[in-house]
Amino acid sequence: MSTTTRAAVVESGGASFTLSDVELDEPRAHEALVRIVAAGLCHTDLGVASGGLPFPLPGVLGHEGAGIVEAVGPDVTGVEPGDHVVLSFTSCGSCRNCRDGHPAYCAAWLPLNLLGGRRADGSATISRDGTPLGGHFFGQSSFAERALVDERSLVKVDKDVPLESLAPLGCGVQTGVGAVWNVIKPEAGSSLLVLGAGAVGLSAVMAARLTPATTIIAVDKVGERLALARELGATHTVNAGEADVAEAVLELTGGQGADGVVETTGSVAVLRKGADALAPRGTLVVVGAPPFGTEVALDVNALLPGRRVVGLTLGDSETQTDIPALVQLVRDGRLPLDRLIGHYPFADIDQAVRDMSAGKTIKPVLTFG
């Protein structure tokens, strides 16, 4: 039996979000119906809504959901009705990378999460007036009062932590944290450079503060964000509008360069600056995603002293392990996500989009009454 719910539908590329009644399919095997309590807004949502990615529209986006399980389909074993859950990406569970504990690099990641708009078998999860809509976004499509969610997108979390403070864990926060913890893995006394002080970059700063890194440099063009970065753990900041980033980093690191760099802006010019700021044997983690097909020029000989450039999806997180750990850090005040979040009623999603695009709010979180 289908469920009718209110969703924010993008009718076509470049259109705004429009609230509309839609029908959710009944939960099938390894699916659950979740009442959404909060959903983070991410630049990936805006990129798809703009028509920049070939996701089928009209469709329902949203991939940082948090809510309460209302019903489960057959064969669901990890959650039951009443459980609080954070929603993240989905994966096949059977390919080599999934079996190795790296589901963010699932062989079917793109069609299952970002481009397909349907289940793996081609069936639709969302329809309107009998016509299928693009859905199954990151296995969830959580810009709706209720969502039909893949079991592999569900992470059961502590009921004592408000879901409104946990929604960003599903994508942006675990991406920034994972860049530091899962890829760079700072050693005692090491230096870390974070390019861009948005939600992902500031998450990387907060993660770095919980490591033995002793120098944490945040770079942005917005003074207020640099001030916040200092409050969240940066030991130094650089205003990219006032100084050459590579030169400033060399000066701050005694001429060595940064042992780790996290590039979150999606700008190839900034990425190249990050590569130029790397110490020998240092690692540059590429998180920001420019348009498909974008290329960057690198100095090959500069890479030979062990410098590495590594791409990253969703922090290379194993969500069932990493997200509960992040929830505990939020609960204990050691990962102060509230400093990034601005709350908006679901009906005000377009205002949240405008504020995010204008830089007024670092991480908008939609709340559902």
- Reported as a single tens digit per residue, the pLDDT across 294-304 is 999 999 999 99
Whole-structure pTM value: 0.96
Does residue 199 sit in the same domain as residue 255? yes
Q: Residue 198 and residue 287: Cα distance in Å, rounded?
A: 12
- Collapsed DSSP state (helix, strand, coil) of residue 238: strand
Query: 117 and 209: one domain?
Result: no
Q: Specify whether 236 is located in the same domain as 342.
A: no
| Same-domain pairing of 86 and 183 | no
User: What average pLDDT does this structure show over 314-342?
Assistant: 97
Q: What is the pLDDT of residue 369?
A: 81
What is the domain-level CATH number for residue 24?
3.90.180.10
Same domain, 73 and 201: no
What distance in Å separates the CA atoms of residue 251 and residue 277, rounded to the nearest whole number? 10
Provide the pLDDT for residue 183: 98
Does residue 163 fall inside a structural domain? no
Nearest to 317 by CA among 171, 203, 194: 171
Number of domains observed in the structure of the chain = 2
Tell me if 136 is assigned to some domain.
yes
Mean pLDDT of the chain: 96
On whether residue 247 sits in a domain, the answer given is yes
- pLDDT value of residue 291: 82
Q: Are residues 206 and 236 in the same domain?
A: yes
Residue 161 in any domain: the answer is no
pLDDT tens per residue, range 92-102: 999 999 999 99
Mean pLDDT, residues 270-286 taken together:
97
Tokens representing 243? 């100084």
Closest by CA position to 5, among listed 149, 144, 162, 106: 144
CA–CA distance, 68 with 36 (Å, rounded to integer): 7
Residue 326 lies in a domain: no
**Structural domain that includes position 268:** 176-313
Burial 37-63 (b: 16+ CB within 10 A, else e): bbbbbbbbbebbbeeebebebbbbbbb
Token digits for 171?
Answer: 């994508």
Question: pLDDT-derived band of residue 311, with 50, 70 and 90 as boundaries?
Answer: very high
In a domain, 65, yes or no: yes
SS3 357: helix
298 & 216 share domain: yes
Domain shared by 215 and 148, yes or no? no
Helices 223-232, 199-209: inter-axial angle, 10-degree rounding: 30
Residue 207: which residues within 8 A CB-CB, separation 6 or more? 176, 177, 179, 180, 181, 335
Domain termination residue (choose one: 268, 298, 313): 313
Question: Could you read off the pLDDT of 36-59 as tens digits, one per residue?
Answer: 999 999 999 999 999 988 899 999
Chain segment 152-202, per-residue pLDDT in tens: 999 999 999 999 999 999 999 999 999 999 999 999 999 999 999 999 999
Compute the average pLDDT of residues 297-320: 97
**What pLDDT is recorded for position 42?**
94
* Average pLDDT value for residue range 319-342: 96
94 and 9 part of one domain: yes
- Residues 64-85: what's their mean pLDDT? 97
Q: What is the DSSP string of 38-76?
A: EEE--HHHHHHHTT-S---SSEE----EEEEEEEE-TT-
